[in-house]
Amino acid sequence: MKAIFTLILTVLMAFPSGAETIRLRAGQSIKEAVNNASDGDTLLLSSGLYQENEIIIRKPLTILGESFPIIDGRDKGNIFLVAGENIHFKGIKIINTGKSNMDDSAGIKFFDSKNCSVDNVQLENTFFGLHFSNSSNMTITNNHLVSTAEKEYQTGNGIHLWKCKDSHIEKNYVKGHRDGIYLEFVTNTVSQGNFIEENNRYGLHFMFSHDNSYIKNTFKKNGAGVAVMYTKNVLMKENIFEENEGPSSYGILLKDISDSEVVGNIFRKNTIGIYMEGSSRTIFKNNSFNNNGWALKLMASCDQNTFEANNFFANTFDISTNGSLVLNKLQENYWDKYEGYDLDKDKIGDIPYRPISLFSVIVEKIPSAVILWRSFMVTLLDRMEKVIPSITPENMIDNSPKMKPYDFGTTNP
Amino acid sequence: MFKLLKYSLYDIVKSRFAILYTIFMILVAVSIYQVSEDMSKVSLSLLNIMLMIVPLIAAVFATTHFFNNLEFTELMLAQPVKRRDVFLSQVLAVVIMLSAAIVIGFGIPMILWGADSTVLTLLGIGIALSVVFAGLAFLASVLTRDKAKAIGISLSFWIYFSLIYDGFVLYLIYSFADYPLEKTTLGLVFFNPVDLGRIIMLMQLDISALMGYTGAFFQNFFGSAKGILLSSAMMLLWMLWPLGVAMRVFRKKDF
Amino acid sequence: MISAQQIHKKFGKLEVLKDFNLEFDAGKSYALMGPNGSGKTTLIKIILGMVIPNTGEVFVQGESIKGNFAYRSNIGYMPQIGRYPDNIRIGQLFSMMQDMRPGIKEYDLDLIEAFGLDKIMDKPMHTLSGGTRQKVSAALAFMFRAEILILDEPTAGLDPMAVETLKNKIKKERDTGKLILITSHILSELDELTDHAIYINEGEVFFNDTINSLKDITGEEKFSTAIARLMEWSLKKKKKITDLSHV
């Protein structure tokens, strides 16, 4: 409501001055045009090359491109610097910010702004792509960010928000940056339908960012998956986390996350599906864990979490943990390794399932022992442990394992 | 050579054992496919068959065959044919029969229910391990004159490679847990054909876990074509050396 | 035609043949005799290349058999016990043996007809009686008109009629000038079929001459008693040696 009111107000304010459309030809100075423009004007950039950087915008303006005019920063640093309200970017292509860690060069950098949008913008070879600080009501949609840096230090984050709120990050594609989407002190923000792949560090990385939701995003083949920290009240729904493989790669790393929901996601072919430490009161429901090395690594510092009605398929290890004390709840999950029976036909197995195998405990202590996995001897050891549990934690147990997998109706099994 | 092989093969195919083994394989494959629809679960169940049962059968069958065929071998040696050819025709007949049983036994259910690359790899491993253990069995056979003793040696090979060796490796890893042992363990695994077959499968089934936090070494190894190439080459070596040694002994052996 | 020169063979610690020399000539027929374990079978196997001597060399038709296999197409061999693949048929066995000698096109099928094997060509080997197998072995030995025939206990297990047939065949081949080498425990048979006697004792040639001269030396009229005398002598010789070692 407040947003709409502000919008109407700004439109009204802009109207009297008579918004104009100013057309620029390739090579003409954007900077000059910005300086000459009145509030609410539209700068229409014809297609072609514009070699400029440090374009500063402090008034309401729309930068509109005609078949993606190229704005080339020639590796000299920030290209657009924005501080204001109602500033919109659409249909342009921004390239070559250079690789400077000193001033965090970005394609477009917003400070203290409100009600701005970046839509359908292509960014190539930028250090940071879109960089926002201390802003609110930002709409970031349909952008395409690709960086070709080989090393982590040669690139910044794709979409970077710091101290922002009430924003939308939707349907963007981010590839080859340090973090795909980075949020720090960001609240009430929705990330939806983004496709984030092959970034050097994390696909999604947030800290101290409460009350956000992440819906239907895909995070694929990022260096270390997704890492979220020190945050409460997060909703993660129907995302896909896949093919994050490597010595320290996770579908999601949850560190100090509480009172959150992780629902209907798919974790596929990750070295570790979910790694959790210091997290509590979080519900994991209707997720699918397929073909992961470890579906879950639950550190002993986690408590009061609930894992309910999830599917576990073809994971090398379902769960491992580092302690013997377990204060989390497992119920009504489907485990493909479950070998029990259902005599009373209530579709719940009559004997409990212990998702931690002896060998996974051994591997936890001595990682290189993983080489013996699936050998006859290890199978024997695991069988013996199932009959007479001695090392594996006693409380890590699903007392109501489902006999048949859930059908979540998701596009991918 | 091919004439000899033709007759050895004819004899072996006509034997009751070949038919029984093929039927056994079909039954195993069909029941596995019946129980689970999920292809990765199918490969897992087949893996145990390939790593345990197939080598056992290969070892026992090859030894028995060698001794049951001893008189025929002697007859052949009195004919104008090379000793090498006599040996190779026997080996090849055994190997072809064992492989055919696996391919037919698993191939028919695979045509009916479908297969993926892991199942095909598995067939390859089954055949490779058949060759390795047939080779070891032939080696045991040419080194002894006694059938019971040879079967004993073949079975020892089998127990050693499928159980004792891994126990030893685990013990080693446990005892030296404080040292970086990735290279050593991987190296040790290369000296056991059953482990080698298992590792080639792990690279397809459990790649995510292998890429785990055991450091860059496993990752480099398993993440690259080099790993597959190296382990396949090593497997080939395992298929060849016992037969090579057995042939050398056979060429100098008195009948 | 066959010449064994300075053959030495040990099985483990057991010396089977000691500095063994023998010549077999074309056109002659030899009875190879000696007590059990004297080295007869080993000698035959060495000639056939089935046992490899520690030292010494064997020449067949002037060529060393070391690393050679083609010479065996000139040898017809009938083993003591013929064991064949179970599932192969008689006819297949014959054609297999013919396959292995692609150079030979003319086959001697006398024995196959005489033994009536042509009527049971499609019987698998494992259904045959011991005697029938022996007939098959005999038929195979003669099939390729080999220059050299080595027959190890050829008549053992055969019925009297078959024995006669086989003997006649052997005589017939002998008369065409082939080299024939027979081991047998039936002395009358050897007397009938061979003209040379070779007596091997403890890995050494104890006697090697014509049967006639054997009878002369021993002063016996009958072959069997002559051989018995020979065996007595060989035992004495052994005793003598042991006596000496005691002194």
**HEC letters along B103-150:** HHHHHHHHHHHCCCHHHHHHHHHHHHHHHHHHHHHHHHHHHCCCHHHH
- Is residue A216 assigned to a domain? no
Provide the 8-state DSSP code for B51.
Answer: I
Percent with pLDDT over 70 in chain B = 93
pLDDT at residue B117 tops 70:
yes
> Which candidate from B11, B80, B255 shows the least CB-CB separation from C45?
B255
Q: How many domains does chain B have?
A: 1
Work out the end-to-end distance of chain C between its first and last CA atoms, rounded to an integer number of angstroms.
Answer: 44
Rg (CA), chain C: 19
Give the residue numbers spanning the domain of A124.
Answer: 1-186
Of C45, C79, C87, the CB nearest to B75: C79
- CB proximity list for A316: less than 8 A, separation 6 or greater: A292, A293, A294, A373, B205, B206, B208, B209
Is residue A22 within 8 Å of A63, Cβ to Cβ? no
Q: Which residues of C touch B74 (CB under 8 A)?
A: 50, 79
N- to C-terminal Cα separation, chain B: 20
Q: Do chains C and B touch (3 or more CB pairs under 8 A)?
A: yes
d(CA A51, CA A66): 16
Chain B residues within an 8 Å CB radius of C148: none
Whole-number Å distance between alpha carbons of A62 and A59: 10
CB contact under 8 Å between C52 and B8, yes or no, is no
Question: Quick check: is A244 in a domain?
Answer: no
User: Would an 8 Å CB–CB cutoff place A155 in contact with chain B?
Assistant: no
Using a CB–CB cutoff of 8 Å, tell me whether A289 touches chain B.
Answer: no
Bridge partner residues of A288 (DSSP)? A266, A311
- Chain A partners of B177 at a C-beta cutoff of 8 Å? 365-366
Residues B7, C83: C-beta atoms closer than 8 Å: no
Give the model's pLDDT for residue B216: 58
For residues B97 and B92, what is the distance between their CA atoms, to the nearest angstrom?
Answer: 8
Helices then strands, each counted (H, E), chain A: 4, 39
HSE (side-chain half, CA atoms, 13 Å) at B185: 29
Strands A190-192 and A213-215 turn out to be parallel
Calpha distance A142→A222 (Å, rounded):
20
Q: Does B11 touch chain C if contact means CB atoms closer than 8 Å?
A: yes
Is any Cβ of chain A less than 8 angstroms from the Cβ of B179? no
d(CA C68, CA A239): 74
Question: Pick from A188, A232, A190: which is nearest to A207 by CA?
Answer: A232
Question: pLDDT at residue B223 above 70?
Answer: no
Distance CA B3, CA A177 (A): 66
Here the CATH number for the domain that contains residue A147 is: 2.160.20.10
For residue C243, is pLDDT > 70? no
Q: Which of A217-221, B46-50, B75-79, C122-126 has the highest mean pLDDT?
A: A217-221
Largest CA distance in chain A: 83
In chain C, domain spans: 2-246
**β-bridge mates for residue B202, sequence order:** none
Written as tens digits, the pLDDT of chain A (413 aa) is: 556 666 555 554 545 456 789 999 998 999 999 999 999 999 999 999 999 999 999 999 999 999 999 999 999 889 999 999 999 999 999 999 888 767 789 999 999 999 999 999 999 999 999 999 999 999 999 999 999 877 777 789 999 999 999 999 999 999 999 999 999 999 999 999 999 999 999 999 999 999 999 999 999 999 888 999 999 999 999 999 999 888 788 999 999 999 999 999 999 999 899 999 999 999 999 999 998 989 999 998 999 999 999 999 889 899 988 877 778 999 999 998 888 889 988 999 999 998 888 888 888 888 788 888 888 888 888 888 877 777 778 778 899 999 999 988 754 44
Nearest to B101 by CA among B158, B24, B197: B24
d(CA C213, nearest CA chain B) in Å: 33
CA distances for C66 relative to C16, C25, C44, C49, C175, angstroms: 20, 20, 15, 8, 31
Q: Which of residues 28-87 of B touch A (CB under 8 A)?
A: 38, 40-41, 44, 47-48, 51-52
Number of domain units in chain A: 1
Chain C residues in contact with B14 by the CB 8 A cut-off are: 86-88
Cα C28 to Cα C109: distance, rounded to the nearest angstrom: 23
Do residues B10 and C88 lie in contact, with contact meaning Cβ atoms separated by under 8 Å?
yes
Chain B CA closest to residue C150? B78
Residues in C closer than 8 angstroms to B254, CB to CB, are 11, 45, 50-52
Asked whether residue A392 is domain-assigned, the answer is: no
Per the CB < 8 A criterion, the answer to whether A402 and A333 are in contact is yes
B185 touches chain A (CB under 8 A): yes
**C and A adjacent (3 or more CB pairs under 8 angstroms):** no
Q: Can you give the pTM of this predicted structure?
A: 0.80
Instruction: Give B63→chain C minimum CA distance, Å.
Output: 16
Q: What is the pLDDT of residue A230?
A: 95
The residues on C that touch B, with CB distances below 8 Å, are: 11, 45, 48-52, 69-73, 75, 77, 79, 81-88, 92, 96-97, 99-101
CA separation for the pair B172, B191 (Å, rounded): 15
Q: How many CB pairs under 8 A join B and C?
A: 74
Q: Does the structural domain C2-246 have CATH classification 3.40.50.300?
A: yes
B: neighbours with 3+ CB pairs under 8 Å? A, C
Crossing angle of the two packed helices B165-175 and B193-205, in degrees rounded to 10: 70
Q: What is the pLDDT of residues C155-167, one digit of tens each?
A: 888 899 999 999 9
What phi and psi, each to the nearest 5 degrees, are found at residue A130? -110, 125
CA distance B85 to chain A (A): 37
Residue A18: other Cβ atoms inside 10 A: 9
User: Could you tell me if residue A50 is inside a domain?
Assistant: yes
CA distance A33 to C189: 127
What pLDDT shows up at residue C247? Answer: 34
Residues A350 and A365: their CA atoms lie apart, in Å, by 32
Which residues in chain B are contacts of A220 at CB distance < 8 A?
none
Buried-exposed string A199-219: b where 16+ CB fall within 10 A, e elsewhere: bbbbbbbbbebbebbbbbbbb
**Of B81, B111, B113, B105, which is closest to residue B1 (Cα–Cα)?**
B81
| CA atoms of C191 and C188, how far apart (whole Å) | 5
Tell me which chain B residues have a C-beta less than 8 angstroms from the C-beta of A291.
40, 208
From the CA of C47, how many Å to the nearest CA of chain B? Answer: 9
> What CA–CA distances, in Å, run from B81 to B70, C71, C91?
16, 10, 20
- CA of B5, closest CA in chain A: separation in Å? 35
| Domain presence at residue A402 | no
Q: Which of residues 112-171 of B touch C (CB under 8 A)?
A: none
Tokens representing A245?
Answer: 């493989």
Note whether A370 contacts B209, CB cutoff 8 Å. Answer: yes
On whether any CB of chain B is under 8 Å from the CB of A271, the answer is yes
Residue A208 covered by a domain: no
Measure the CA–CA gap between B58 and A178, rounded to whole angstroms: 53
- B201 is in which domain, residue-wise? 2-252
**Is the Cβ pair A246, B211 closer than 8 Å?**
yes
Question: Hey, what are B156's tokens?
Answer: 């020892």
Most confident option among A276-290, B23-37, B118-132, C32-46: A276-290
Per the structure block, which two tokens stand in for C77?
């061999």
